[in-house]
Structure 1
């Protein structure tokens, strides 16, 4: 996939993710990896789309839904983060978005090079609202009436859309390094686009090497990655679901949704917007614009954080989400991540 557009609206040519397919979102830290004991589960939406998801934590826990970013599957959420949430009393649900991981691929052509470069989605493209509906169907399937939402990057956009269109289903919202869809904010740095302009990896070994190299650019020296964990995760995720065309369709969904600033003003859920000051994938202006659009939102910029869920920021993110939920009636307690213990 060449000439793709990143979450902030900038062109991304030949973007390459850990699964060997082009990905314009930042690849995230090692999640479950090959030793996960969590089982993949499946549901079929009313439209016939088969979606994969996992559930962790106590059956009577407070529902928390984690929505991953562009080209990232459910294992992109770091295991220590998931464990900290479950230890706090949350029942954690993680879906594979449509067109990635073990969820179904949509039977429409991906946008071509020219459409991606010009941000002109195909007329038959799905959009973020469709992806938010997938999430709503998952909640229905699990019998969850209200949920605390956390979304990163494109996952933040999906979470924002669900909160705006189905406010009665969302208890709180945590939007992490995401943006509004306006092409005036949240755009990736030119250096990021240049680094991502590579053909897809052809082997698992090449994919791991590229993942680590990209992570060195989009991550942060202030909050360095756990290289061993990253290497293990990138190798495992190669086998789980690579699909360059699926990622291109996700990019088309972002483009088809356009500027969502006006819609964000409809969000009523208590919201915290988190962004790093050193994010080269989604410029910090995207977070500022999101916080300005959502009524009453709290804006938190983490100094030195990039576009990466590094070990050094996990405890802060878990704390912000847990404190927000607890402040609005959730029966949860603060549990620190293993990195912070």
Structure 2
């Protein structure tokens, strides 16, 4: 059994408040001493880490925290217009445009607000970039790092497929119905073609996202944060936390070269390739993903030799 705290809001500092939820194994003292911080991806909200997934991870003896990054869900939204493609290409940033370092500082601020000195960092996609940045800039705060379907920002590495760029360039949804249809189109494309597609689940999650936050500008500002941060290869080479890199072989959003580059860049990192996994967290892959994450968290010690293991079967 697990317990779920009600959604709360914490002051992460620098004028940023973050909405979050916690899950922990039922019973006094059942949760591990160091929490697992789940970091969401581009434009995604805290429930992009499915509730049942969080509960199963918590049931293994961990306190699990999921949260909305700034400019998503019920966390602080900035009020300036996101840059368009021309501004991104010419790097003409708004004076208030943030980068991945700011998003990482938000995550550290959340840990501070909740009284946690360290956490096991698990980030997916942009969340992996944020987790990498925390581990590099605040090494004392990272018990372990798990970077899922993410990349280093290096040019020509881990880039979306051209067909994915076209979907990303579509007109933002104007109402709830359009948001649901757009989510189905996107996840049919970038989702895990090696696992059953849960259209009902995608619609439910998209509806919840719209109900919590129907704005669209935040995703553009988050995307600009990724571009503004540039190539972080030199930064990830400084990471000392024990690191696991997970990537699917069917990812059309972050090409698998991104995962390979991340594993090569971080000293001692291990790469696990999950056949059939795309750019989502399908329920059929949960047993594999939960085992990988829980085993890595449980190992808790650095492996100083870099290795790439054989692909993991779902």
1:227 is displaced (CA, Å) by 2.2
Per-residue Cα deviation, 1:236-260 (whole angstroms, up to 9, x for no partner) = 2211113222111111111111100
Per-residue Cα deviation, 1:187-238 (whole angstroms, up to 9, x for no partner) = 1101112233321222212221221121111113311232222222222221
Per-residue Cα deviation, 1:12-42 (whole angstroms, up to 9, x for no partner) = xxxxxxxxxxxxxxxxxxxxxxxx9752111
Q: Is 1:139 equivalent to 2:106 in the alignment?
A: no
TM-score normalised by structure 2 residue count:
0.89
What are the equivalent positions in structure 2 for 1:1-341 lying under 5 Å apart?
38-58=5-25, 60=29, 61-62=31-32, 63-118=35-90, 120-328=92-300
1:123 is displaced (CA, Å) by 4.5
Per-residue Cα deviation, 1:72-118 (whole angstroms, up to 9, x for no partner) = 01011112210111110111111110011000112444213311345
Q: What is the count of residue pairs matched by the alignment?
A: 295
Task: List structure 1 runs of 4+ shifted beyond 6 angstroms.
Answer: none
8 Å Cα contact 1:121-1:255 kept in structure 2: no
SS in 2 for 1:70: coil
**Residues 1:100 and 1:292: Cα distance change in structure 2 (over 3 Å):** same
For structure 2, the 5+ residue unaligned runs are: 302-313
Per-residue Cα deviation, 1:263-304 (whole angstroms, up to 9, x for no partner) = 001111111101111111111000000000000000011112
Distance 1:182 1:235 in 2: 34
SS in 1 for 2:113: helix
Say which structure, 1 or 2, has more relative contact order (CA 8 Å, 6+ apart): 1
1:124 is displaced (CA, Å) by 3.4
Which residue matches 1:24? none
8 Å Cα contact 1:146-1:171 kept in structure 2: yes
For structure 1, the 5+ residue unaligned runs are: 1-35, 330-339
- Name whichever of 175-184 and 205-214 sits farther off: 205-214
Distance 2:13 2:49 in 1: 27
SS in 2 for 1:90: coil
What RMSD over aligned residues (CA atoms) do the two structures have, in Å? 1.8
Distance 2:176 2:150 in 1: 29
TM-score normalised by structure 1 residue count:
0.82
